[in-house]
A and B are shown apart, each in its own frame.
Chain A
């Protein structure tokens, strides 16, 4: 999964693809009587393709999660559209259901994204029942075990009936990945999937994600702060700053030969975290 192929962006594809076209998201912030508009995402376009990973990097508050939530249809864009296999995607009804079957999301917080009341089994059974209503209970049970085994939670029978608080952070995030796979998704939006995990297990989870991606030919949007894993795990990197994509290109090229001032800042900061604040100020004042 090293960087190969060329970056495709902006062009609409008629084959399998998930395309964001000119996405804009404005939030109206109200403080007392005054209200002002926050442009969280400004005119962002990219195309996810089967078997390829796009990394979205950028500082806190640059709008990465907002893009993820729009792609997962948790929020409607202020303007722009999302195309699945070249066709505009729905906002409701049975076409939204089929969108959800194809596009799934892995959330940042493994402690918050599983309902503490329900056992692991519930979290995997529900997407199976919703998207495959014809399956019998026995088949669903078999699929739940199969999903758990695939994310290396084995033996599945010891995990299925536990409650989320009886699992470690890494194990929970594996459950979250299994849940995203359950409907048979072709595209996965992973919003900082390992940032809340212990450093020691991050790579295990990312490697698992990469392996599943290769097996299933998934298209993945990998949102992260971490340029090293972005380089290793993705084919293309989009650098986001204040709601805009300021630089994009094949991962190696962006990391080894950054063009935009902000990308250089990020790279230098990654090499020397103490300088992050000062450098960011310089970029702001300079640009």
Chain B
């Protein structure tokens, strides 16, 4: 972009309104025209800046680089790296040659369990197991939320009523009790083969029970996007409904989809921990929840073996906090008012300190 030629893109007829042999329709607008041409030039300059900076399709919907986002990404990133690479460096998690209930030492960084398992190794495998369940359940919940939420919001009418009715039914059924019943049922059911009591099955159960809240949010947003003129324009251009949903609407919902996905992951990680703690988790694999369950049955608290139950608890808490921080950052993009809220509150406090009535300044407006 050459800024010295900002008027390159001006249409030649803009200044003169020449219309061939017809009489030109003249209007006293030259000053305005100059201003508009300046505006177009600045749009061109803005384009150059945008190209020089971080470009790409998602630029206008990326969260700003806030402290929340960075903290969240660092926490979740570290835990993810631990889940990926930890199991590679740790000793086998079911290696029971060690002495039982050793406190943390140079040899066993986080001590050992009652059965002589290395806690650090268990933690690495458990983190991997929990992340796997969280991701699978998050994806399942997101797909269901899109089907029930976005489709209902876009199509409206009877389809909307049927889909929304079902969503509401799922929504009002209390979550964890149903998960417990389903988990208890499918895990003892015959004929599931290797799927029975696997972490994949737990992930599916959590995904299938955790999508309804997201569907409600997505439906509301899809309903509002549906009335946008660019959706009408796509219909006039001849686009098919599926393409309108996936190409015209969903990309504009990416921040919201990301937020709902993260919400689904949090729900699944915590749900798995709850289920496993109650003894309804996967038995074949190790998760943070099964670790807590083992610690509970092994009376870790009573024997003072804090190194057994504190680390998995901390990782669950940190994962939940990190994901929530990312979600807050995304929320600020979706809903810019939130970003201004702390500043407004600060301004109000200052105004109050200065002895001015907050109501008088209209800061709440």
Contact = CB atoms under 8 A, between A and B. Distances in A.
Given A107-B233, A127-B238, A204 B11 contact: yes
A57 B8 CA distance: 36
Contacts of A204: 11, 13-14, 17
Given A107-B232, A158-B9, A210-B19, A170 B40 contact: yes
A142 interface: no
Interface string B1-34: 1000000110111100111101001010100110
A112 B237 contact: no
Interface in A69-99: 69, 72-74, 97
B230 A114 contact: yes
Interface in A175-218: 176, 179, 182-183, 198-201, 203-204, 206-208, 210-211, 214
Contacts of B233: 105, 107, 113-114, 123, 176, 179
B25 A207 contact: yes
B235 interface: yes
B10 to A, nearest CB: 8
Given A74-B235, A155-B8, A112 B230 contact: yes
Interface in A144-162: 152-155, 158-159, 162
Contacts of B17: 203-204, 207
B308 to A, nearest CB: 49
18 contacts: A72-B232, A101-B238, A105-B233, A105-B236, A109-B229, A115-B248, A126-B239, A127-B238, A130-B238, A168-B40, A174-B11, A200-B35, A200-B36, A203-B25, A207-B13, A207-B17, A207-B19, A208-B11
B238 A131 contact: yes
Task: Pick the 6 closest A-B CB pairs, nearest first.
Answer: A200-B32, A152-B11, A112-B229, A113-B229, A204-B14, A115-B230
Contact of A154 (B1, B9, B39): B9
A147 B29 CA distance: 28
A2 B20 CA distance: 12
B251 interface: yes
Interface string A99-121: 01100110111001111111000
Of the candidates A69, A200, A208, the one having the most CB atoms from chain B within 10 angstroms of its own CB is A200
Contact of B237 (A116, A165, A183, A210): A183
Contacts of A1: 22
| Size bracket, chain B contacts | 35 or more
A171 interface: yes
B46 interface: yes
Interface in A28-64: none
Interface of B: 1, 8-9, 11-14, 17-20, 22, 25, 27, 29, 32-33, 35-36, 39-40, 43, 46-47, 50, 57, 60-61, 228-230, 232-239, 248, 251-252
Contacts of A107: 229, 232-233
B40 A163 contact: no
A123 B19 CA distance: 28
Given A107-B232, A152-B12, A130 B237 contact: yes
A139 interface: no
Contact of A112 (B18, B36, B228, B251): B228
A199 B32 contact: yes
Interface residues of A, number: 59
A117 B29 CA distance: 34
B5 to A, nearest CB: 11
Contact of B239 (A114, A130, A153): A130
Contacts of A165: 60
A7 B1 CA distance: 49
Contacts of A73: 236
A162 B49 CA distance: 12
A16 interface: no
Nearest to A172: B43
A166 B47 contact: yes
Contacts of B35: 198, 200
A72 B252 contact: no
B236 A201 contact: no
A104 B32 CA distance: 31
A123 B233 CA distance: 9
Given A73-B236, A101-B238, A166-B50, 19 more contacts: A2-B22, A113-B229, A113-B230, A113-B232, A115-B234, A117-B57, A117-B251, A117-B252, A123-B233, A130-B239, A158-B1, A158-B9, A166-B47, A168-B40, A171-B43, A183-B237, A200-B36, A201-B33, A208-B13
Contacts of B1: 158
Contacts of A101: 238
